[in-house]
């Protein structure tokens, strides 16, 4: 049985992950890390900091905030514990922590753990290779009004996927304003919508001469991210040290 620690266990996504893990006979949550220790009555001990945990875990799943990554990645590297990171809103310093940890342990990083988004990414890659040079590209992400980062990590991942397919020839524009002026050919425009309790929707629009291709993924609940995270956990514990993504899981 896979023994897991959930970093951010009492957050919204961490709580969903806990409930999903309880239904999976192949995993057991042995501890949680969260600043709000008393928010839920968990069946496992919860600590404020990962360094307070003295047990032995097979893997750590992180659904928290970027500020926790320094201590988390250092702990994973020091204890040789594989790590799954689903936290978004990462800055360059956070990416450096992750890359350093990946020199010592296997690290799985994805802005979106949905298996459907994994497929979406492949479809978008193909569309970009066929349409990208001749079509304008717009990306829209729509999330609940409590989401902090904008645009979403998934929107940025999709934009990066498209740009890589087009040899890096595009530049990102974040929304439009009266000062934006005419749209330029080399732009990929990313729009972030926030409202209500929307779980997450991403639309990629390829707009050409007299035709529009739109590709969309809608998340109807957070459980899809938890299912994907557990699949990632089962995958990463079998790998050698290094940095892995949903592409590696898809090709496994």
> Is there a single domain that holds both residue 86 and residue 143?
no
> Is there a single domain that holds both residue 18 and residue 67?
yes
Q: Domain of 28: which CATH number?
A: 3.40.50.720
> Is there a single domain that holds both residue 209 and residue 142?
yes
Catalytic residues: 143, 147
- pLDDT at residue 44 tops 90: yes
d(CA 166, CA 170): 7
What pTM was computed for the model? 0.84
Over residues 155-169, the pLDDT tens digits come to: 999 999 999 999 888
> Is there a single domain that holds both residue 64 and residue 107?
yes
Please state the rounded mean pLDDT for residues 170-174.
Answer: 95
Over residues 179-188, the pLDDT tens digits come to: 888 999 999 9
> Is there a single domain that holds both residue 9 and residue 104?
yes
> Is there a single domain that holds both residue 108 and residue 227?
yes
**Which residue range forms the structural domain that includes residue 145?**
115-218
Neighbours of 86 (CB within 10 A): 25
Over residues 55-91, the pLDDT tens digits come to: 999 999 999 989 999 999 999 999 999 999 998 888 9
- pLDDT at residue 220 tops 90: yes
Q: Domain of 127: which CATH number?
A: 3.30.360.10
> Is there a single domain that holds both residue 65 and residue 142?
no
> Is there a single domain that holds both residue 102 and residue 168?
no
List the beta strands (DSSP E) in 100-165. Answer: 106-109, 136-143
> Is there a single domain that holds both residue 182 and residue 239?
no
Count how many domains the chain has.
2
> Is there a single domain that holds both residue 129 and residue 227?
no
Per-residue pLDDT at 48: 94
d(CA 97, CA 73): 6
């Amino acid at each position: 049985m896979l023994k897991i620690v959930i970093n951010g266990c009492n957050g919204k996504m961490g709580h969903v992950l806990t409930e999903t893990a309880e239904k999976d006979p192949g995993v057991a949550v042995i501890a949680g890390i969260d600043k709000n220790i008393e928010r839920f009555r968990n069946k496992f001990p919860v600590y404020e900091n990962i360094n307070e945990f003295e047990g032995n875990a097979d893997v750590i799943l992180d659904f928290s905030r970027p500020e926790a990554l320094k201590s988390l990645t250092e702990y994973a590297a020091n204890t040789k514990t594989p790590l799954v990171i689903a936290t978004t809103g990462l800055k360059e310093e956070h990416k450096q922590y992750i890359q350093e940890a990946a020199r010592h342990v296997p690290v799985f990083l994805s802005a979106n753990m949905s298996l459907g988004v994994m497929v979406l990414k492949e479809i978008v890659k193909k569309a970009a290779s066929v349409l990208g040079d001749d079509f304008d590209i717009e990306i829209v992400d729509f999330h609940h009004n409590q989401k902090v980062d904008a645009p979403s990590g998934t929107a940025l991942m999709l934009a990066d996927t498209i740009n890589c397919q087009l040899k890096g020839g595009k530049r990102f524009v974040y929304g439009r304003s009266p000062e934006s002026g005419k749209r330029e050919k080399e732009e990929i425009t990313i729009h972030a919508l926030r409202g209500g309790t929307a779980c997450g929707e991403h639309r990629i629009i390829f707009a050409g001469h007299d035709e529009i291709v739109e590709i969309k993924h809608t998340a109807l609940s957070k459980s899809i991210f938890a299912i994907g995270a557990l699949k990632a956990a089962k995958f990463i514990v079998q790998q050698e040290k290094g940095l892995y993504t949903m592409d590696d899981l898809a090709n496994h």
